[in-house]
Amino acid sequence: MRKASDIDFVGVEASTSWMIAEVEMEDEPEIGMRPEGGGIGPVNRAEGGGPFRVVLVEREVDHSGDPTLEDLSEALVATYGTDFGVHSPTWISRFTDMTRQAGSYRQGRVLLAGDAAHVHPPQGGQGLNTGVQDAVNLGWKLAQVVKGISHENLLDTYHAERHPVGARVLHNTMAQVALVSADPRHKALQDTMTGVLAMDEPRKHIAGMLSGLDIRYDFGEGHPVLGRRMPDLDLETDDGPTRVSTLLHDGRPLLLNFGECGSLDISPWSDRVRLVDARYEGEWELPVLGAVGSPQVVVIRPDGHVAWVGETKAVGLVEALATWFGAAESTH
C-alpha cells in the first residue's frame, strides 16, 4: 500500500544481516553474549532446558530466499568453528540493520503505522512499542473523523506527532548498531558509554527514550505534563478508589478535575468526554523529569496523552475540548 501510494521510504541500506533461530544442538555451546557473534551474538537456552536460541552475524548482507538449516550450520561454523551438531529448528529467521522511514504517514485515505511506517534494527526492543503507539495515536482520531465528530485535518496530527517519534527511534537504533560493532574503536566507544550509563541522569534519559515513556507531543508551552503521558495515579473518586489507567480502559477522552467537586460543567461534550472529580495526595512523578506540581484540571486523550492542563476557572478548556473532541454543536 505504501509503494502503491508512492510514499517515499527513505533511510540507510542494511550493512549487516543477522540470523536468529531456535534449535536443538548435540553439543552444549557456551551460554551468554558471544563477541564472536558480532557483538550481539548471544546463545541462550529456553527456561527448563528447552531448545537453544542463537543470534549470529551472517557474512553476506543480501539474501534472496528464506534462511535454511544449512545456512545456519554454515554461519555457526564460520563464527564459532563448529555448528554444535545443530538440528531440529523450531524456527529460523533473519533481520538486518536497514533503517528507513516513510516520508509521510498519511496520504489522503492511506495511513501508515508500525513497520509499514518505519523499519530499524531491533536493538532496544522498540519496534512493537512504537508501532502500537502509532496505532493507539491514530485509532481514536480515525473513529472521530469517520463518525463526523472531527474534521479530517485531525488526521494530520497523526503524522505531526508520530513521525518525529519514529525518526528518533531510527536514530537511536543506528547509534546502538555502531556501539556493538566489534572493532577496537567502537569497543572504546562502548566502554565510554558504559561509564556514562553508570550515572543516574544519563541512564534515566536513555531508559525514558528506549521505553518511549519520555515522549512529549508539542502542544505548546505549559505544565510539564502537557503533551506527555498522564501518570497512572491512584485516585480517590466519588465511586471509590481507582487508577487513571482504569478510567482510560474504554478508550474515551477523560477530564480529571482535582479542583472543587462539581465546579466544572462540560455538558456539551458529555456524550464524548468523561468528567471525573478526583483527589490525589502528593506530587506527580513523571518519567525522566521526576516530581512536578499537581495541576487542577487535566484533559486526557484516549491515547493517554495530556491535551490540556489548567485551573478550573482558566480560559481555554472549551477551545481544547473543541480542538480535540469536536465542536459542541455537533452533538445537536
Ligand X SMILES: Cc1cc2nc3c(=O)[nH]c(=O)nc-3n(C[C@H](O)[C@H](O)[C@H](O)COP(=O)(O)OP(=O)(O)OC[C@H]3O[C@@H](n4cnc5c(N)ncnc54)[C@H](O)[C@@H]3O)c2cc1C
Residue 294 makes contact with ligand X by CB under 6 A = no
Cβ closer to ligand X: 96 or 257? 96
**Site for ligand X contains 20 (CB under 6 A):** yes
Interface with ligand X, residue 126, by CB under 6 A: yes
Nearer to ligand X, 13 or 238 (CB): 13
Return d(Cα 87, Cα 90) in angstroms, integer: 9
215 or 299: CB nearest ligand X: 215
One-character DSSP codes across 71-137:
HHHHHHHHHHSS-TTEEEEEEEEEEE--EEEES-SEETTEE--GGGTEE---TTS-HHHHHHHHHHH
Q: Sort strands 254-257 and 274-279 into parallel, antiparallel or unpaired.
A: parallel
Judged by CB under 6 A, which stretch of 124-132, 154-162, 261-269, 314-322 contacts ligand X? Answer: 124-132
E-state strands within 149-289: 234-237, 240-243, 254-257, 274-279, 284-286
Dihedral, CA of residue 80, residue 82, residue 85 and residue 87, to nearest 10: 60
Q: Which residues contact 12 (CB under 8 A, 6 or more apart)?
A: 98, 99, 100, 174
Interface residue with ligand X, options 103, 114, 208, 231 (CB under 6 A): 114
Q: Does 173 bind ligand X (CB under 6 A)?
A: no
Stretch of 22-30, 121-129, 161-169, 231-239 contacting ligand X, by CB under 6 A: 121-129
User: H/E element holding 298?
Assistant: strand 297-300
The answer to whether 131 contacts ligand X (rule: CB under 6 A) is: yes
Task: Give the β-pairing of 234-237 and 106-107.
Answer: unpaired
Which run of H or E residues covers position 290?
A: strand 290-292
Of 110, 113, 109, 221, the closest CA to residue 161 belongs to 113
Stretch that binds ligand X, among 127-135, 211-219, 239-247, 284-292 (CB under 6 A): 127-135
Instruction: Indicate whether 108 belongs to the interface with ligand X (CB under 6 A).
Output: no
CB of 113 to ligand X, least distance (A): 7
Q: Which has the closest alpha carbon to 233: 254, 247, 217?
A: 247
User: Does 5 engage in binding with ligand X (CB under 6 A)?
Assistant: no
- By 3-state DSSP, what share of the chain in percent is helix, strand and coil, each rounded to 5? 35, 25, 40
Q: Is the Cβ of residue 101 or residue 126 nearer to ligand X in the bound state?
A: 126
Q: Interacting stretch for ligand X, rule CB under 6 A, among 43-51, 103-111, 125-133, 166-174? A: 125-133
CB of 140 to ligand X, least distance (A): 18
Q: Which is nearer to ligand X, 17 or 257 (CB)?
A: 17
Residue 129 is a binding residue for ligand X (CB under 6 A): yes
Q: How far is the CB of 64 from ligand X (least distance, A)?
A: 18
Contacts (Cβ under 8 Å, ≥6 apart) of 290: none
Residue 222 binds ligand X (CB under 6 A): no
Nearest approach in angstroms of CB 130 to ligand X is 7
Q: Which of 11, 82, 85, 95 binds ligand X (CB under 6 A)?
A: 95
171: helix, strand or coil: helix
- Give me the residues that bind ligand X (CB under 6 A), please: 20, 95, 114-115, 122, 125-129, 131
